[in-house]
Structure 1
Amino acid sequence: MDTSVTQTRRNPNIDAIRGLAVLGIFFINIHYMGNTLVGYVPTEPPATLDLSLEILTRMLCEGRFIGLFTLLFGVSLQLQYQSLQGRGILPVPLLRRRLGWLMLFGALHGLLLWPGDILLSYGISGMLALRYLQSDQRTLWRHSGLFLAISLLGYTLLALLPDDSGELSRNSTTFSALQQPWISNYWEQLQQHLTMEGFMLAIYPFTMLWYSSGMMLLGMALYRSGIFNHGFAHEHGYRLLALAALLGGLDLWLLFAAGPLGQSLAQISVIYAAIPVSLLYAHLLIAWCQGSVDRCRALQAVGQVALSLYLLQSVVGILLFRYLFSDWLQQFDRIEYLITALIWAGIQLWLASTWRHHFKQGPMEWLWRRLTWGANQASNEIRFNSMAGKSNAE
């Protein structure tokens, strides 16, 4: 998410990939800004382009950018750990403190603004990932796979629970009733946030904890392998492409051709079909950035203020869809959502480039660093050096 602690030379590829991830996340989140409970609900009959855009979005966006973002969180933990060690500072206590502040940011973000928050879950999963920062590569690969398998089992069991909600249409009275609390007064919205936050925390130990932790360990392993410097070898790239096509095809079959049970399982298959696509995005962007120094500069700027932009996305989305233009929830089809997301992506590229021209850090990155370090940076270094000297004397 953020590498503001790191004082060593930044990897511009990682910044660019993080920038792509944070921009891409909004292309899915935008459907949930107005009504986080049900997201996009089609009209009856569906708009002409809805099916084509649903397939395109599912194959290219859904789960893909959040997976990439989670991978990079593990990479950031590894980078920060190495940087702090190189500066003579005990890494783990400081990283725990950073994650603690991130969890607070996430809890406030999810409760007060948008319950689709990922920061709280990243903070919790990051605490588990910290235990693996000194593990060897084999352990990282093995436990990453294990954690992803555990999350797959948990998500599958959850998807198989009975669901009596049925199909929703935007023209139905049921949808209107579900929609009303999200565009009513702020107190009613808070109650919705609290309910959703409670539910997600209840299922978190069985699902997202293991998925996020597994992806973070995968990110650490890939970073140590040098993937973020030069990308994958050609044969590995082709294998990822084949795996992405296979899993993507299975996901679409479950969604459209396997009946009600398949539709339930498709809620899960899309998450894991996204993993090879996320890796392909990283590989292709690295190749693209290496072709020119300036080619990825705007994306790198976005990646350097990713936390600030992620929170700004929520502010803008909530203002647009719940307050300023709540009628969009009845009017927008998938094409309007896509156009809005594209416009906002362009604005974010401009905002990030302009901000980075004048400031070294984004506002939330600066606050996060300030809260983590406080006035104790020098004492932390002195404490570590004195402990190291005592150890050497012994």
Structure 2
Amino acid sequence: MDKYRVSAIDGMRGFSLLGILLANMLIFQYGIWGKDEIGFYSLSAADLGAYKLVKVLVEGSFMPIFTFLFGYSMIKMKESLERKGVPLKRYFVRRFLFLVCAGLLHSTFLWEGDILFFYGFMGFFLLLFMNRSKKTLLIWGTSLLILMSFLGYGNMEESAEDKKIMAEYVEETKTIYSSGSYSEIKAHRNNEDPLNLPDAFYVVILILAPLLTAPLFLFGMFAAKANAFVHLQKERSLYIKGSLLMLPIGIALKVIPHVSESAWSGVAEMLGASLLALGYIFLFALLYTRKPNKIFPAAFESVGKLSLTNYLMQTVICTTIFYGYGFGLFGKLGMIWGIVLAVMIYALQAIASHYYLRRFKRGPIEQLLRIWTNFSWNGRVRQKKLRIEEGPKKAEGM
């Protein structure tokens, strides 16, 4: 399958991991709920400014890039497997089961911000669209993007009791995460819920999740079927127009919730997050057409080729830095230094990935995924043996 890899897609995947790490740094530093209750952490004016920049420019807009690439890669894998005569659905079902299980282990034993379970879960939903036409994918993606954005309409009023429960939860999280043992942190992560929502609510969320997040997956599948990002120079004008259109609109929409409490703020934020993600995709592809210096594209590609391994390593590194069983810096580092730390971690991953790929073809987690998916110890796809009819052979012998 490596023969058919698209370099720009590997680079874009690596680029998205940088943004995902910057966004996840909010969770690593302040917790899954605390990141949106930042007032409890008494940030300086500079840190608060950095926090708002991350919320507008990064959070919610880099995960959709990864989502787009998931859909793109799914179609490219399908095309590769068809060339090899491999049963498609069996292959994808095993692959998605691996992601679901890895996600459950990741979220249970390491960190609450897992995305692997969600991607595995979404994969089963996307099988419904795998053989659809480009037009169908584009129509469904656009329609769902508009429709699902309206779920953000309205304002939720917190009662005094709700605010008190959240405040107590955040304070408890600060104490446990910064000085607690592994078992204490794990118990808090898996058992405490400041919203006290009924199980039925989470069932509804699980049902809505595929529709809510489907647009970028479907746009990625559309792009793959259109063979986008393969002939970059030919598409350069499209990237310029896409960047100039999507980036300012996306940023403007994401700023609205920070300057207005309108009932439409949620709609603007949800729509803006997706449009900004598309803008980043166009911008990165545009930068890729220039390539005056191949160091940076190559660095992003190296990280992207080991995306699964690097994503999990980010969890191991950051929980060790911030949690009590490591250096215990939870809630203490500040936003600016958190951003600096994220860039440093990513730079180290880029260097390590580069040298790792000089010796190995794929990362350890990627290899495990291939072994399980292909049911072969070497991780290679088992191709169907071509059957040669005996009839023609006998005819040649005669």
TM-score (norm 2): 0.83
Q: Following the alignment from structure 2 to structure 1, what is the Cα–Cα distance between the partners of residues 156 and 238?
A: 40
Match of 2:396 in 1: none
1:256 matched to 2:259? yes
5 Å matches for 1:152-167?
A: 152-154=149-151, 156=152, 160-164=155-159, 165-166=162-163
Match of 1:303 in 2: 304
- Contact 1:77-1:130 within 8 A present in 2 as well: no
Secondary structure of the residue aligned to 2:85 is coil
1:26 matched to 2:21? yes
Aligned pair in 2 of structure 1 residues 98, 72: CA closer, same or farther (>3 Å)? Answer: same
In the alignment, structure 1 segments of 5+ residues that lack a partner are 1-5, 390-394
In the alignment, structure 2 segments of 5+ residues that lack a partner are 194-198, 390-398
Q: Deviations over 1:6-64 (max 9, x none)?
A: 24321100000000011220101012124233127246764121343233223321122
Q: Following the alignment from structure 1 to structure 2, what is the Cα–Cα distance between the partners of residues 209 and 196?
A: 26
Letter in 1 for 2:290: G
Quote how far apart the aligned CAs of 1:238 are.
3.4
Q: Following the alignment from structure 1 to structure 2, what is the Cα–Cα distance between the partners of residues 199 and 192?
A: 22
Counterpart among 183, 188, 199 of residue 187 in structure 1: 183
Quote how far apart the aligned CAs of 1:135 are.
0.8
Counterpart among 378, 381, 384 of residue 382 in structure 1: 384
1:146 matched to 2:143? yes
Q: Following the alignment from structure 1 to structure 2, what is the Cα–Cα distance between the partners of residues 115 and 200?
A: 18
Q: Following the alignment from structure 2 to structure 1, what is the Cα–Cα distance between the partners of residues 247 and 24?
A: 22
Match of 2:327 in 1: 325
- Contact 1:106-1:119 within 8 A present in 2 as well: yes
Q: Following the alignment from structure 1 to structure 2, what is the Cα–Cα distance between the partners of residues 324 and 7?
A: 38
Q: Following the alignment from structure 1 to structure 2, what is the Cα–Cα distance between the partners of residues 174 and 199?
A: 22
Q: After the TM superposition, which of the residue ranges 24-33 and 288-297 deviates more from structure 2?
A: 288-297
Counterpart among 77, 98, 105 of residue 74 in structure 2: 77
Q: Following the alignment from structure 2 to structure 1, what is the Cα–Cα distance between the partners of residues 280 and 372?
A: 33
1:275 matched to 2:292? no
Aligned length: 373
1:91 matched to 2:88? yes
Quote how far apart the aligned CAs of 1:182 are.
3.0
Letter in 2 for 1:30: M
Q: After the TM superposition, which of the residue ranges 293-302 and 73-82 deviates more from structure 2?
A: 293-302
Letter in 1 for 2:7: P
Q: Following the alignment from structure 1 to structure 2, what is the Cα–Cα distance between the partners of residues 153 and 253?
A: 15
Quote how far apart the aligned CAs of 1:92 are.
1.7
Match of 2:315 in 1: 314
Q: Following the alignment from structure 2 to structure 1, what is the Cα–Cα distance between the partners of residues 171 and 48?
A: 23
Secondary structure of the residue aligned to 1:39 is helix
Q: Following the alignment from structure 1 to structure 2, what is the Cα–Cα distance between the partners of residues 45 and 112?
A: 29
Aligned pair in 2 of structure 1 residues 199, 107: CA closer, same or farther (>3 Å)? Answer: farther
5 Å matches for 1:229-240?
A: 229=230, 230=232, 234=237, 237-238=240-241, 240=243
Secondary structure of the residue aligned to 1:36 is coil
Q: Following the alignment from structure 2 to structure 1, what is the Cα–Cα distance between the partners of residues 370 and 304?
A: 16
Secondary structure of the residue aligned to 1:116 is coil
Letter in 2 for 1:241: L
Letter in 2 for 1:223: A
Q: Deviations over 1:164-184 (max 9, x none)?
A: 444999xx8764223233342
Q: Following the alignment from structure 2 to structure 1, what is the Cα–Cα distance between the partners of residues 381 and 142?
A: 39
Quote how far apart the aligned CAs of 1:192 are.
3.4
Quote how far apart the aligned CAs of 1:110 are.
1.1
- Contact 2:32-2:112 within 8 A present in 1 as well: yes
What RMSD in Å do the two structures reach over aligned CA positions?
3.2
Q: Following the alignment from structure 2 to structure 1, what is the Cα–Cα distance between the partners of residues 298 and 304?
A: 10
Q: After the TM superposition, which of the residue ranges 247-256 and 351-360 deviates more from structure 2?
A: 247-256
- Contact 1:244-1:273 within 8 A present in 2 as well: no
Letter in 2 for 1:254: P
Aligned pair in 2 of structure 1 residues 205, 241: CA closer, same or farther (>3 Å)? Answer: farther
Quote how far apart the aligned CAs of 1:200 are.
9.1
